[in-house]
């Protein structure tokens, strides 16, 4: 007759240890804080991109004004001279 094996089962635990709970809460809070920071950065990025578009639109408006007033919008940003093509001087 074969000998029966006895397997000891761990008792079913209802809750994790306080130490593990604190560690888990710490990590979850870190993740939540980092996700919040990412949201803040994305919001700042959105605002900066919006400001960039507004500035680019101002350049386009100025180019139109320069073309009307001076006949060209190709201007040297350092000294204000108009960069005429060889034919236009």
Domains in the chain: how many in total?
A: 1
For residues 49-65, one letter each, b for 16 or more C-beta atoms within 10 angstroms of the residue's C-beta and e for the rest, the string is: eeeeeeeeeeeeeeeee
Task: Classify residue 20: in a domain, yes or no.
Answer: no
Residuewise pLDDT in 10s, the chain (89 residues): 667 777 777 888 899 999 999 999 999 999 999 999 999 999 999 999 999 999 999 999 999 999 999 999 999 999 999 999 875 55
> Is the residue at 89 inside a domain?
yes
* pLDDT at residue number 2: 66
1 within some domain:
no
- The residue segments making up the domain with residue 53 are 31-89
Do 50 and 39 contact (CB within 8 A), yes or no?
no
pTM assigned to the model: 0.66
């Amino acid at each position: 007759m074969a000998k029966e094996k006895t397997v000891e089962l761990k008792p079913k635990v209802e809750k994790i240890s306080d130490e593990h709970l604190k560690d888990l809460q710490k990590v979850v809070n870190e993740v939540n804080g980092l996700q919040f920071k990412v949201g803040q950065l994305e919001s700042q990025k959105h605002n900066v991109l919006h400001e960039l578009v507004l500035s680019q639109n101002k350049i386009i408006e100025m180019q139109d004004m320069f073309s009307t007033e001076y006949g060209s919008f190709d201007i040297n940003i350092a000294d204000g001279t108009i960069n005429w093509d060889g034919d236009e001087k």
